[in-house]
Amino acid sequence: MSAITVRPVQSKGDTTRFIKFLWKVYENSPYWVPPLLMDRRKLMDTRKNPFYKHAAAEFFIAERDGEMVGRIAAIVNENHNKEHGDKVGFFGFFESVDDAEVAGALLNKAKEFLRSKGMSVMRGPANPSVNDEYGLLVDGFDSYPAVLMTYNPPYYAKLLEGFGLRKAKDLYAYGMTQDTVGAERLERANRIVRERHQLEFRTLDMKNFDRDVGLIKEIFNKAWAKNWGAVPMTNDEIDAMAKDLKPIVVPDLVIFAETKGKTVGFALSLPDINRALRFNKKGRLLPGLFYLTTKKKEIRGVRVIVLGVLPEYLNSGAPGVLFYETQVRAKKLGYEYGEASWILEDNLRMTRAAEKMNGRIEKTYRIYDIPIA
């Protein structure tokens, strides 16, 4: 069999090949949702994506006999290492044919890059960070991924584990429906919590969008400061995220928790637009916008992307009530189901809040580690 070569992405043409390799891997997958090509380019753009102001990345293509057979990125996130006091490098954007030799060549190339940067552990997949698409799907392949969640073939776990990568942490996606979360006892329990802690809730004010984004900045990094692997987002990163999400955000699904005039937490949910974008087979913008309009009835669910409360208010019951308030508002808007994702397997406060809403684990994603010798 011919040798495998792994080389860095060096041109716009290489970037296009890197992105479009997805269509080769998933051409027969019934549940893969094609991304927008422009979004993938933006994610990889080391000059314009604010993530790369504090991170270094190299993107690689694997070829055999001139044919592309895999891809990977190696990433050094300086803010991660500053936050956690370690030397962890990341791999991401991993895609491969079902061939251990190809996967091994890609992962070795990523390790070499990270070793040259002084890293001692390789972790992933991160695309490109914990604040983007994160983790490898290891359970729950028989349904579409929610918006901004990953999807991959089942054989990827075999390839990574065959290389020597081992589980570092699992991430859960909890599913819930309006039929299971609307119980009277939940309404009564949440009313008691609201009254006891003088909690009030309001939704995003689009007329004061920048002000509310400022509140999110104040809360976000404090709320996740002690979570495993969490990395603070810079102001530029949050601004870029807000700009990207603004066209699809539903104000009633962005909820702020307040007590005595102080904003203490928020929940951000998005309509699951993947159910419409799955028809956009080539990943182009204009057809994507067309399907978001013509297939709007397909969007029957929401994804709870971010839900956080300031540390000093965690015991106020606000996290659970934010879950409940999201459900109430989603029901009024006609949404039938929701997904809370992702939640760390050992974040008991959040897993219990999801379970109190009768949520069930529908998908499991895994983060892997391997020492860099």
| 160-211 pLDDT tens trace | 999 999 999 999 999 998 876 556 667 777 788 788 878 899 999 999 999 9
Closest CA to 205 of 255, 167, 155, 159: 255
Nearest C-alpha neighbor of 303 from the set 339, 342, 255, 273: 339
- Single pTM value for the model: 0.95
Q: In which element (H, E) is residue 345 found?
A: none
Query: Backbone phi, then psi, for 194, in 5-degree steps?
Result: -60, -45
Output the pLDDT for position 55: 98
Q: Give the domains, in start order, of the chain with CATH numbers.
A: 4-172 (3.40.630.30), 175-364 (3.40.630.30)
Query: Is residue 255 a contact partner of residue 325, using CB atoms and an 8 Å limit?
Result: yes
- Per-residue model confidence (pLDDT) at position 10: 96
Helices (H), ranges, the chain: 12-25, 37-44, 78-84, 100-116, 155-163, 178-181, 184-196, 209-223, 235-245, 274-277, 285-294, 318-332, 348-356
Which stretches in the chain have pLDDT values below 70? 1, 180-185
What whole-number percentage of the chain has pLDDT above 70?
98
